Amino acid sequence: MKAVGARLPRYDGLNHVTGKSVYVDDVRVPNMLWAKALRSPHHSARIVSVDTSRAEAMPGVHAVVTHQDVPHNVYGHLEALGVPADEPLLAEHEVRYKGQPIAAVAAESEDAALAAVETIDVVYEEREPFLDIRKALDPGQPQVTPEGNVFRYYGDQVPRQIRKGDVDRAFDEADVIVQGVYRPAAMEQAPMETQVALVVPESTGRLVVYTVTQAMYFSLGVLAAHLKLPMNAFKLVGGTVGGGFGGKVDTAADTISALLAIKSKRPVKWRWTREEEMLCSSTRAAWHMEIADAVTNDGWLLGRRTMTLHDAGGYTRFSSYGATKHTFHLTGAYTIPNLAFNSYVVWTNRVPSTAMRGFGVTSVSFAVEMHMNRIAQTLGMDPWELRLKNANRVGDTAPTRVVYSDPSTVTTLLEAASTAGVELAGDYRTMTSARREGALLPEHLVAQQGDTGRSNGGSR
C-alpha cells in the first residue's frame, strides 16, 4: 500500500516531456502507403452505383476497396451480446450519415490517394433525412432503418423501461408536480490526436496494427469479425493515445487500413484530418429528457416519470448500452421510491454517437441536477437541503433494486458545501449516510428499503 497517497512519477511522464513518446503517426516504416476515404456527401441516400475504375488506373494507386472487398461487411459492435449487426464497414446499398465511408484508396502519397478518391464515381438517390429525435414516434417520418427509427430491446421491447413502486399513487398524493425538459446537444470528443492507424503486413500474413484505440480488445474483435480472420492473425500495438475521451472506443480507422494493407500487400497508414475528426467521427449523443416529479411541500420526492430520447445516429454501435446505463441513473444520487422510466434509442441520419466521459450518465446527471434545482426553486427550499434530505443512504434501493451498502452522496454533498463555503443548518451539517430512521424515514420510504446483508449498515 506504499503507492496509495504517494505522489508517484508518471510512468510515461519523462517520455512525454522529452518528445520521446511514440504516437501512431510518429511510427514510420519503409514502403508505407497512405489511405484516404470516399465519404458520403449526403445525410441519407440510396447508393445506385459505385465505379472505382478510374481510381484503380491512376499512377501510384495500389489498392481501392469497396464493400465487395470486405469478407464480413455488416457487423455490430455489440453483436456478441445479441444486439443485431447493422453497420457496414463500407456502405453498400445506402448511406445513413454524412461522412459515412463508401470506398478507400491506398496510394504512394496522401495527395495521390486523395486525387484517386475524387475520381470515384458514385450515383446517389438522395433521400429526405431524419434529424430530429423529438419526432421519433411521429407517423410519416423518413425511416432511417428498415426497422424504423426506434431501437427495440430484446427484439420487441421499444423503450428501455424501469417500473418501481406505484407511480400513479405517488402522483395522486403529491402536493406539487415539477416538470422539466433537458436537451444537451451532441458533442465531439475532439482529441488533439485525430484517428490514425498504421497496419503492417508481416511475411507470415499476420497484421501488425498500430492503433489509437482506447479499447484494444474491442478493436481486435472488430478487426477479426469484419476480416473473418482469427484473433491471432493480428498484433495490436497501442496504449499511447493522444486523447480519446470516448471518441476512440469505436473502431474508426483500423479495419479499413487493414483491408487496404491486405489488398496492397504493403504497410498502410490512414490519418484523419481535423475536419474528418470533427464531422465524421462518433460524438457524444444528443438527448431529449422529459422529467416529471411528484413532490411534497416539505421536499420529499415521492415519484418520478421520465420520457427520454437518445440520438444514436445512423447505426446502433454502443447506444443501447449507453441508454441502459442512462436509465439506471435517472434518479441521480437520490432516493425516489416510485418510478416509471421510458428511454428510447432513436436512429437518425447523424453520425453515430458513442462514449464520452461517462457514457450515457453525464447527460442524465446534468438533467437530474438541473431538475433538483428546479424543484428547490418551485418549493422555495434550499437546494442543498433538498439534496441532503433525499440523498441515497445505506439500505435505500436504486431504480434497479440494488441495495446501496456504501453510498457517498451525503459525504460528497457535505464536502462540496464546505469547499464552496456554504453554511448548512446544523441538522444538515451533521448528516451521515447511515440507514434512514426518525425524521429521515417517512412512511413512503419504508417499503423501498432493503437489506444490505450487514448487521450494522455502516455509519458514515
Which residues form the interface with other proteins (CB under 8 A)?
Answer: 2-3, 5-23, 25-26, 28, 189-193, 240-245, 271, 273-274
Instruction: Kindly tell me which of 11 and 154 has the beta carbon lying closer to other proteins.
Output: 11
User: C-beta of 159: minimal distance to other proteins in Å?
Assistant: 34
Instruction: Kindly tell me which of 10 and 93 has the beta carbon lying closer to other proteins.
Output: 10
Give Cα 31 to chain centroid, integer Å.
Answer: 37
Instruction: Kindly tell me which of 109 and 432 has the beta carbon lying closer to other proteins.
Output: 109
Give Cα 49 to chain centroid, integer Å.
Answer: 33
Contacts of 336 (CB under 8 A, 6+ apart): 293, 301, 302, 303, 304, 390
User: C-beta of 244: minimal distance to other proteins in Å?
Assistant: 8
Instruction: Kindly tell me which of 111 and 298 has the beta carbon lying closer to other proteins.
Output: 111
User: C-beta of 238: minimal distance to other proteins in Å?
Assistant: 13
Instruction: Kindly tell me which of 240 and 408 has the beta carbon lying closer to other proteins.
Output: 240
- By C-alpha distance, which of 409, 378, 360, 388 is closest to 293? 378
**Residues 304, 307, 308, 312: what is their CA dihedral angle, to the nearest 10 degrees?**
150
User: C-beta of 46: minimal distance to other proteins in Å?
Assistant: 34
CB atoms within 10 A of CB 250: 24
Instruction: Kindly tell me which of 274 and 454 has the beta carbon lying closer to other proteins.
Output: 274
User: C-beta of 333: minimal distance to other proteins in Å?
Assistant: 23
CB atoms within 10 A of CB 275: 10
User: C-beta of 407: minimal distance to other proteins in Å?
Assistant: 26
